[in-house]
Amino acid sequence: MQAQTRQADRTAAQAAGTMVTRCWSCRGPVAEGAPFCPTCAAVQPPGQADHFARLGLPRGFGVDAADLDRRYFALQRQLHPDRFATRSAHERALSQQQATALNDAYETLKDPLRRADCLLKLSGQDVVAEGCNLVNDPELLMEAMERREALAEAGSTVEVDAITRATRADVAACVGGLAAAFSAGDLAAAGRLTTRLKYLQKLVDETRVRKLQLRG
Amino acid sequence: MAYSDKVVDHYENPRNVGSLDKDSTNVGTGLVGAPACGDVMKLQILVNEQGIIEDAKFKTFGCGSAIASSSLVTEWVKGKTLEEAVSIKNTEIAQHLALPPVKIHCSVLAEDAIKAAVSDYRKKRVTKAAE
């Protein structure tokens, strides 16, 4: 019976295109990214699952915030290290790793910019790599430079607020554009919009700094 | 992470901040950015008839290392030929300012900015000669 279940699990996991690993406790098959062994219910190491798989979501830019919250809190309840206080050191360590990986996945998918970055990375289009990745988009750079100059020259908090409002509207439009680009499978456009979003969010952050300077 | 004294000096007393007329045929403008940190850097050169860089200005919105790298480059390129200016290596900038490994990309940005400014200037001259 148990062998049959295992076979069924393995087939289901293979059909879904996921990798199957072995449970460290009972040696049964576990789909990559599954937090618990379906056979013996032991907590598993976080493994290599991507952020979407970890939260049981399909890869895509359209993520419903309420659904994401529900999934996250349900999993976090099961995986919270407090629930493993009386378990073995190994299980405590695994639950800690799982909780950390889950937090990371949640924080990434919740934020449109990080979500877009993550999707591009998963598609092999690493636009915002660490280190010396240069922007090769004169129009975008010109816009960024002009806006930063306008902000530096803003002489009152009222002027800064106007820049903040305009930038937030642009952020919203940019996020809308990203949803359209990803659903059309246009990764080049998604890459450009992700870089633009990065600059726009940086500008929003800087408006806060500028306001503090003007108040001080 | 502590900035080196040289970075702090350029950050607190940046050299050659400002703009040159980007529409002038004697001016080359380089505009570059690093998406990872949302930095943007503008570097401009004024070139005389002998092909010598007479003046350089920069405007950088970014971290202290990015500001120091661009400030230093404007000092270095003055009086140089275009060939000499494009031969400036990011490693020399990073070494001079004692940039830590995580800030090396700021010196890459400055090297790219001067290259972009020179290529913008050369493009303008070709267009002018064709007219």
CATH number at residue A69: 1.10.287.110
pLDDT score at B36: 77
Paired tokens of B63 = 């971290």
Number of domains in chain A: 2
Q: Are residues A140 and A65 in the same domain?
A: no
Catalytic residue among B31, B37, B63, B86: B37
- The verdict on a CB contact (< 8 Å) between A145 and B35 is no
Q: Are residues A14 and A104 in the same domain?
A: yes
Q: Answer yes or no: is A23 within a domain.
A: yes
pLDDT score at A137: 82
* pLDDT above 90 (res B128): no
User: pLDDT class for A18, splitting at 50, 70, 90?
Assistant: low
Q: Are residues A13 and A94 in the same domain?
A: yes
Give A176's contacts (C-beta < 8 A, 6+ positions apart): none
CB-CB neighbors (< 8 A) of B61 in chain A? 144-145, 148, 152, 206
Q: How many CB atoms lie within 10 A of CB A24?
A: 16
Mutation test of the interface with chain A: which of B29, B40, B60, choosing the one with the most A Cβ atoms within 10 A?
Answer: B40
CATH number at residue A179: 1.20.1280.20
Q: Are residues A195 and A100 in the same domain?
A: no
Q: Answer yes or no: is A127 within a domain.
A: no
B63 in active site: no
pLDDT score at A20: 87
User: pLDDT class for A10, splitting at 50, 70, 90?
Assistant: very low
- Structural domain that includes position A197: 134-215
Q: Are residues A13 and A88 in the same domain?
A: yes
What is the DSSP secondary-structure string of B84-128? Answer: HHHT--HHHHHHHHT--GGGHHHHHHHHHHHHHHHHHHHHHHHHH
* pLDDT above 60 (res A186): yes
User: pLDDT class for A156, splitting at 50, 70, 90?
Assistant: very high
Question: Would an 8 Å CB–CB cutoff place A132 in contact with chain B?
Answer: yes
Average pLDDT over residues B26-46: 92
Q: Are residues A33 and A100 in the same domain?
A: yes
User: pLDDT class for B12, splitting at 50, 70, 90?
Assistant: confident
Q: Answer yes or no: is A116 within a domain.
A: no
Q: Give the nearest partner residue to B33 out of A130, A134, A206, using CB atoms.
A: A134
Q: Answer yes or no: is A187 within a domain.
A: yes
* pLDDT above 50 (res A63): yes
Whether this model's ipTM surpasses 0.85 comes out as yes
Question: Would an 8 Å CB–CB cutoff place B36 in contact with chain A?
Answer: yes
Average pLDDT over residues A49-53: 93
SS3 B31: strand
pLDDT score at A98: 95
pLDDT score at A48: 86
**CA–CA gap between residue A152 and residue B65 (Å, rounded):** 19
User: pLDDT class for B127, splitting at 50, 70, 90?
Assistant: confident
Q: Give the nearest partner residue to B105 out of A132, A144, A199, using CB atoms.
A: A132
* pLDDT above 50 (res A132): no
Give B80's contacts (C-beta < 8 A, 6+ positions apart): B52, B53
Q: Are residues A141 and A54 in the same domain?
A: no
Q: Answer yes or no: is A120 within a domain.
A: no
Q: Are residues A141 and A53 in the same domain?
A: no
Q: Are residues A14 and A80 in the same domain?
A: yes
What residue of B is the nearest CA neighbor of A148? B61
pLDDT score at B129: 79
Cβ A200 vs Cβ A170: under 8 Å: yes
* B68/A2: higher pLDDT: B68
Q: Are residues A80 and A30 in the same domain?
A: yes
User: pLDDT class for B1, splitting at 50, 70, 90?
Assistant: low
CB-CB neighbors (< 8 A) of B109 in chain A? 132, 134
* pLDDT above 90 (res B123): yes
CB-CB neighbors (< 8 A) of B116 in chain A? none
CB-CB neighbors (< 8 A) of B112 in chain A? 134
CA B30 vs. chain centroid, Å, equals: 8
Question: Would an 8 Å CB–CB cutoff place A209 in contact with chain B?
Answer: no
- Domain boundary (A110, A142, A171) is at A110
For residue A129, count CB atoms less than 10 angstroms from its CB and return exposed for 0-12, middle for 13-18, buried for 19 or more: exposed
- The verdict on a CB contact (< 8 Å) between B61 and A152 is yes
Average pLDDT over residues A99-119: 96
The whole-chain average pLDDT of chain A stands at 88
Q: Are residues A104 and A141 in the same domain?
A: no
Question: Would an 8 Å CB–CB cutoff place A138 in contact with chain B?
Answer: yes
Residues 57-86 of chain B whose Cβ lies under 8 A from any Cβ of chain A: 59, 61
* pLDDT above 50 (res A26): yes
Shortest alpha-carbon distance between residue B60 and chain A (Å): 8
Q: Give the nearest partner residue to B61 out of A127, A148, A195, using CB atoms.
A: A148
Q: Are residues A106 and A166 in the same domain?
A: no
Q: Answer yes or no: is A35 within a domain.
A: yes
pLDDT score at A7: 52
pLDDT score at A169: 97
Average pLDDT over residues A61-86: 95
Average pLDDT over residues B12-25: 92
User: pLDDT class for A9, splitting at 50, 70, 90?
Assistant: very low
Question: Would an 8 Å CB–CB cutoff place A122 in contact with chain B?
Answer: no
Least confident of A123-127, A166-170, B70-74: A123-127
Average pLDDT over residues A167-192: 95
CB-CB neighbors (< 8 A) of B36 in chain A? 128-131, 133
pLDDT score at A127: 55
Per the listing, tokens 């032991």 go with: A42
- Residue percentage of chain B with pLDDT more than 70: 99
Q: Answer yes or no: is A125 within a domain.
A: no
> What are B37-81's pLDDT values in tens digits?
789 999 999 999 999 999 999 999 988 899 999 999 999 999 999
What residue of A is the nearest CA neighbor of B31? A141
Q: Answer yes or no: is A115 within a domain.
A: no
